[in-house]
Structure 1
Amino acid sequence: MTTNENGNFAGKVAFVTGAANGIGRATALAFAREGASVVVADISEEGNQETAHMIEKLGVRALAVRCNVADEVEVAAIVEQTVASFGRLDAAFNNAGVMIPAVETADTSGDDFDRVTAINLRGVWNCMKHELRQMRAQGSGTIVNCSSIGGLIGIPGRAIYHASKHGVIGLTKSAALEYASRGIRINAVCPGTIETPMVMGMMDRESIAREDFLRDLPIGRLGQPEEIAAPVLWLCSEAASFVIGHALMVDGGYTAQ
């Protein structure tokens, strides 16, 4: 099976973090199906390489690089490697993130706060900083940062996670204003409850029944990773050319209640 040579991203180069599974993998594959060469980054080498092999089967080029997004040196190196390998960087989806078990704020450890913030917020900033340096030099590019419904609301026990995701939206909006006039568009996507390994693992660890999640979802089901990938690609496409600094909710109606 080969990709459509007339796809929306034919000849483009996309960069996706947290690409070893879930939303990141689905988005990397979606870029590939639309003709993009894709650089995939994740701390899991095995899953990341598997994603790259899946991309190559679609008939486009892939580069898999292990990267801890909390480490700015590693992020800078992977962006440099992307440009060295493909000559440019057209679209980036800063998706890598972690979640910790629910705990009251007073009982949260400093180590947990530092880890979640380092990956979910500092990691997005690290990526944006170096992606923007390349995009600024070439005068074009699109970035989508992965926030969450947790970037828009509060839920008891999730203060650290939600703080990091609120921060992602703040980064997105401010940076979007800085670069809007320079050919670079920056937006965020805010997924609801998506059927990913991270969410399924959380449900298992905290003994949360699927029915408990579904009760709060007007659509009556969990979302699928591909249902986040599609709006990410739209935000990166020319179809969204007038969309700047937006945090797009993709949550099955959860925040509309």
Structure 2
Amino acid sequence: MNRTSNPTALIAEDEPLLAAALQAELARAWPELRVLAVVGDGASAVTQALRLQPDVLFFDIRMPSLNGLDAAAELADAWHTDSAPGTPFPALVFVTAYDQYAIQAFEAEAVDYLLKPVQADRLQKTVSKLQLALANRAHPAIDFEATLGQLRGLLGAGPRPTAAPLKVIQASVGTAIRMVPIDDVVYFEAADKYVRVLTAAHEYLIRTPLKELLPQLDASTFWQVHRGTVVNAARIDTVTRDEAGKLSLSVRDRPERLPVSRLYAHLFKAM
């Protein structure tokens, strides 16, 4: 990314007409902005953002393969290892159909958003905010940590409800239902339409999505360490950092090493 050139952007939108409309409105509102690529799914958005390193990302919330929030989280996790050291993380703008809950979340985390269809006056306000943000980027590391905090809030990675947490996991085993005490669970891992429940000696599958399971778990006991992994904190043995700065952990009673996303690295600081 050449900081002496015009600012650059990537648009991720799975509806071609809406993507074209946003690009046309941007050309009018911000003629200096160069749109480097337009992609139609979350996985491509991550790949192209890592390759092109744009200044600004316009991410549709609802996209195939990865939604906009998950794509932003995955990109943040890969950014420092796959891009030039010290390169600022792109400014994020989420594009969404009207959803009051989503809008409230964006406003609470001070993340900019655009409603579909994009209106010229609202886009101009976003452009002004982006221009100011790009001009004030003196501390990329601080900006990146702020972005991680925003993403944690949007993904519900902050404090979770703890009222009446689950005591038992009910897992189907053939024609029976196995009652697995929650304290026996070493970790949970998302797997397609299922969640794997790993104990010291067994593995079970449940159909409850991880996002629905998470609020039912005691937040002081079960820590989310990756987009698809929640670990029993009492079973964590060691946390190690590799040469690229990536964290991974080993757990008692299981042989696997589990990667820790940068989004959740703040959980592991020496006392």
TM range (shorter): 0.3 to 0.5
Higher relative contact order (CA 8 A, sep 6+): 1
> When you count strand as a share of all residues, which structure comes out higher?
2
> When you count helix as a share of all residues, which structure comes out higher?
1
TM-score by length of 1: 0.35
Which structure has the larger Rg over C-alpha atoms? 2
TM-score by length of 2: 0.33
